[in-house]
Amino acid sequence: MNLVKQTVKDINNSKKINFILTGGTSPLKFYNQLFKQKIDWNKVNLFLKDERLVNIYNKDSNYKNINSILKKNNLLNKLKPLNKKSTKNKNIKFILNSFKKYKTVCFLGLGDDGHFASIFNYSKKYKSLINLRKKPNILITDKVGKPFVKRATMNLSMLNCSSKFYLILNNKNKVNLFKKILDSKNIKMYSILNLINLAKNRISIFDGLNVKKLKVFLNKR
């Protein structure tokens, strides 16, 4: 089953569902295919996992890139920007309340340096972001990554509210990078290993069109 079919199945099998969306270029083809599906989108709550703190009309804005696809499919007002205002307690409580009420699926990408969300191992906020003793939250990072800007990101505790994760490896380079990361076991260098160690039984990997459980992926290497 490919990622679009699996996601549609998740929607159809739920009275209501939350999707935590990943940014960057990797998932855009998937979003283009998903959001044109003729299903009841009122059943779906959309949240951004992280965002570069740039103008929402900037080409590097995750909100801009995803929202343009939503607009094409007449899905206006389905997604709100993620910014400094998102860190307010009122907004955090709203998101967590939705996570408690409904099943949550988190879509993941993989950065070229092994980061996920905006959790970079060299960020000044890194230890705070991956500390599971911290309550679920959205934090503002220092300037990191490409583009070199501040970012807003859900911390690991908030992402861990997800019932399952879909990791999108959309080309051979990303698949090979992921294998390298798993082989290294270097959690200090590759931040995504924090999530893998925490939620390996909840992660499905979409390598091309095929879905594989993380254990299956490991066994077939």
Question: What b/e readout covers 58-81, taking b as 16+ CB neighbours within 10 angstroms?
Answer: eebbbbbbbbebbeebebeebbee
Domains of the chain listed by start with CATH number:
3-10+17-219 (3.40.50.1360)
Predicted confidence (pLDDT) per residue in 74-119, tens digit: 998 999 999 999 999 999 999 999 999 999 999 999 988 889 999 9
* Contact in structure between 22 and 105 (CB atoms under 8 Å): no
Provide the sign of the torsion angle of the four alpha carbons 3, 5, 10, 16, taken in this order: positive
Predicted confidence (pLDDT) per residue in 63-77, tens digit: 999 999 999 999 989
Could you give the C-alpha distances from 201 to 93, 116, 166, 173, in angstroms and in order? 27, 18, 12, 24
DSSP string, 62-112: HHHHHHHHHHHTT-TTS----SGGGGSHHHHHHHHHHHHHSEEEEEE---T
Rounded (10°) angle between helices 172-184 and 192-199: 70
What percent of the chain is predicted at pLDDT more than 90?
Answer: 81
pLDDT at 165: 96
Supply 214's token pair.
């993380």
Predicted confidence (pLDDT) per residue in 111-158, tens digit: 888 899 999 999 999 999 999 999 999 999 999 999 999 999 999 999
pTM: 0.93
Q: What angle do CA 40, 100, 203 make, to 5 degrees?
A: 75
The residues, any chain, with a CB within 8 Å of residue 180's CB and separated by 6 or more, are none
